[in-house]
Amino acid sequence: MNIPTSLIITTYNRPDALNIVLHSVRNQTVLPHEIIIADDGSGKATADMIEHWSKDQRIGQLIKHVWQPDDGFKLSAIRNKAIAASNGEYIIMVDGDMMLHRRFIEDHIKVISQGYAVKGNRIRLNEETTKQICESTVSKNISPFSKGILKDRIKAFRVNLLSKMFYNFKPESYYAVGSNMAFWRKDAIAVNGFEELFNGWGHEDSDFLFRLSRIGIKKRDLRFAALQYHLYHPQNSSNGLNNLEALKKRNAEKIVKANKGINQYLA
């Protein structure tokens, strides 16, 4: 399947982690057609890191840097801007602190299907292992038996047969984390992208999937494949409880299109 794919990597002022993520992208068995770094207002160190990788012989020419001024937590806005700037028909979206298994893109491409969006998982690494990886400046092979996995070690197994068995796991649930998600660009535009009225971190990604479900898009749960390893950081401050209440209210109202979304960035 040769569908043009765009890998969107969100980041904010963490160039050491972004370096590891880009190194893991470089090592992919299958490369995306473009790599968009969606930058929520990072400073010069991140810009320098992106400039360094733009010279890489394997992935440099694929990289596009989409930046917005630092005006607080504006994750939905930078995601919308990155999707608007993308040329791919299919979007694979990760965070800038997710080290990817070398078959991550390959696994996502295998399950591309019209009428579906994909929700993946992540494996959390502890602070010591994260520090070692970032200081090494190169991505690391992680096995289910590696030291440094915080919990849910079973998620670190990559097993094709098991993965297929979980494709339709909890089909009624569209709760998600945007650090491992894939969808058709046209479907994102149909629901006006991510809702920018959410205040702070939390539940804007679930809102996006719930709204996709209202235009007939089904969810595919991608477990035991497309593995990614979450580099440690202290818990982000969030507005999670308020956002959860907002999500519940929006679901009760069966909202389909974002009130403030991607349409403002489309030509």
Q: What is the CATH number of the domain that holds 227?
A: 3.90.550.10
Residue 236 has pLDDT above 70, yes or no: no
The pLDDT, as a whole number, for residue 60 is 98
**Six-digit token pair at 69?**
């001024």
| pLDDT score of 171 | 65
Residue 76: exposed, middle, or buried by beta-carbon count in 10 A (0-12, 13-18, 19+)? Answer: buried
Q: What pLDDT shows up at residue 84?
A: 98
Taking residue 61's Cβ as centre, other Cβ atoms within 10 Å add up to 12
User: Considering only CA atoms, which of 233, 219, 205, 223 is closest in space to residue 99?
Assistant: 233
Would you say the C-alpha torsion 23, 26, 29, 35 has a positive or negative sign? positive
- Provide the domain count of the chain: 1
pTM confidence score? 0.96
pLDDT of residue 241: 63
**pLDDT, mean of residues 109-132:** 96
What is the domain range of residue 51? 5-265
pLDDT value at residue 237: 57
Q: What's the CA gap between 147 and 27, in Å, rounded?
A: 22
Tell me which DSSP letter residue 149 carries. B
Return phi, psi of residue 99, to 5°: -75, 130
List the 123-124 sheet strands across, edge first: 98-100, 228-230, 123-124
Pairing of strands 228-230, 116-119: unpaired
pLDDT of residue 31 exceeding 80: yes
